[in-house]
Amino acid sequence: MTGQIVITGAGIVSAIGNNMAETVRSLCSEKTGVGILRHLNTTHKEFPVGEVKMSDDDMKRLLHISDEPTTRTALMGMLAIKEALEAASLSEREGLSIALVSGTTVGGMDKSEQYYLDYLGNDSRNEYIKAHDCGATTEMMADYFGGFSLVTSISTACSSAANAIIMGANLIRGGIVDMAVVGGAECLTKFHLNGFNSLMILDHEQCKPFDACRAGLNLGEGASFIVMETAESAQKRGAHVMAVLSGYGNASDAYHQTASSDQGDGAYLSMQKALNMAGLQPEDIDYINAHGTGTPNNDMSESQALLRVFGEHMPLVSSTKGMTGHTTSASGAVETTICLMALQHGIVPVNYGWKTPMENGIIPSMSVKAENPLRHIMCNSFGFGGNDSSLIISRYDHEQ
């Protein structure tokens, strides 16, 4: 087992910014990216979404990609990984054993939706059909950069990216790789939109996590990746340490295919595991970035789990999905990176859209500035089937 796992780079693309700097500005100005759907070709324009404000061609130009088959998920992932590698001073990676672990569920479905109908009659587009699955998207990102010694994908619905972070940390702790680039990417698709619509959990208006009048979620898209390594590795490279991944936990309540249990058993267990690994007490957590989807089931279940764990020591809590939309499989990484920004800039993102307290629920934060320096932040990501993950990132003590 190795020592402390630290974060030395991060990159993000979402509805509220195409990079870290833009995202911080949006968080500080309480700006939502949820709005009218523009890039996805669907008749369902009635649902607000958190769409990335770039077309596929815009992203290709930024990445200097011309004719190679690519998917929207992969393009967003490439942009986020590029920013993360640059922040971690990893433009040169020769001699390092680095894993790429990406969480996604949609994968390359955006292109297979467009081209599968003429699959047999027009084989000039069949390369896009082959890029449908999750692994193909991760391989596209790996091939663009090169130099990864291990490449793999995780698909556990909305906890995918959080579980990619956990897997990366375990690979480093186990001595399998020196470093890990971990996170997730997910684009909007018709299957995506129609699937959540069939579950009747999409809000026709701006979503309102933890609000008594909440009616569902707003789907989003985006990508985020972080670079992790041991503190010893970072010191040796002279890399700037952004934070410590001090604890994490994964659990399952196995209650239902999509719903969470009334008491939030899986969420309770994942949070307790993360606290135990970090060696922290509930009162040590300064802020929680909640899963907070805006659905009646999730927000009540998560509230109960939070109350069970934190009780009278409830820290500041907010869901940022009112600004980014629910980026599904990428959400664990998107929100972990937002937590990094909160730690670095001393901000507590507002719970956008919230107005009315829900019965027996938590009261979310509506203040951007933290009153005291943030030391420990918890980030929750909960997936269908009760696959629940919690991460804790902490301020780095340079004296250690």
| Model confidence pLDDT, tens digit, residues 251-260 | 988 766 666 7
- The sign of the CA dihedral 350, 352, 355, 357 is negative
Using a CB cutoff of 8 Å and minimum separation of 24, what contacts does 194-201 make?
A: 194/44, 197/44, 197/47, 199/258, 201/293, 201/295
- The Cα 387–Cα 114 span in angstroms is 31
> In the chain, what's the furthest Cα-to-Cα distance?
65
What is the rounded CA–CA span in Å between residue 248 and residue 336?
12
The pLDDT tens digits of the residues spanning 172-191 come to: 999 999 999 999 999 999 98
pLDDT at 249: 97
Q: pLDDT exceeding 90 applies to what percent of the chain?
A: 77
> Smallest Cα–Cα separation from 6: which of 245, 342, 235, 278?
245
Whether 59 shows a pLDDT value over 90: the answer reads: yes
Residue 94's contacts (CB-CB under 8 Å, 6 or more residues apart) are 147
pLDDT band, residue 267 (cuts 50/70/90): very high
Q: How many C-beta atoms surround the C-beta of residue 175 within 10 A?
A: 10
pLDDT confidence of residue 127: 72
- Predicted confidence band at 69 (pLDDT cuts at 50, 70, 90)? confident
- Per DSSP, helices labelled H in 96-159 are 109-115, 126-130, 134-145
Rg (CA), the chain: 20
Instruction: Give 45 or 77, the one with higher predicted confidence.
Output: 77
Predicted confidence at residue 372, as pLDDT, reads 82
State the pTM of this model. Answer: 0.95
Report residue 264's pLDDT band, with 50, 70 and 90 as the boundaries.
confident
Q: What is the pLDDT of residues 100-138, one digit of tens each?
A: 999 999 988 888 777 777 766 776 676 776 777 888 899
**Alpha-carbon distances, residue 197 vs 6, 192, 194, 301 (angstroms):** 39, 9, 5, 21
pLDDT at 1: 40
Q: Is residue 350 predicted with pLDDT exceeding 60?
A: yes
pLDDT band, residue 93 (cuts 50/70/90): confident
Whether the predicted pLDDT of 204 surpasses 80 = yes
* pLDDT band with cut points at 50, 70 and 90 for residue 371: confident
Question: So what's the pLDDT on residue 116?
Answer: 73
* CA–CA distances in Å: residue 340 to residues 125, 148, 242, 288: 40, 24, 7, 12
Least confident among 223-227, 255-259, 329-333, 349-353: 255-259
8 A C-beta contact, residue 75 and residue 188: no
Average pLDDT, the chain: 92
What domains sit in the chain, N to C, each tagged with a CATH number? 5-237 (3.40.47.10), 247-394 (3.40.47.10)
380 burial via Cβ count (<10 Å: 0-12, 13-18, 19+)? buried
pLDDT-above-70 percentage for the chain:
95
Active site residues: 158, 291, 326
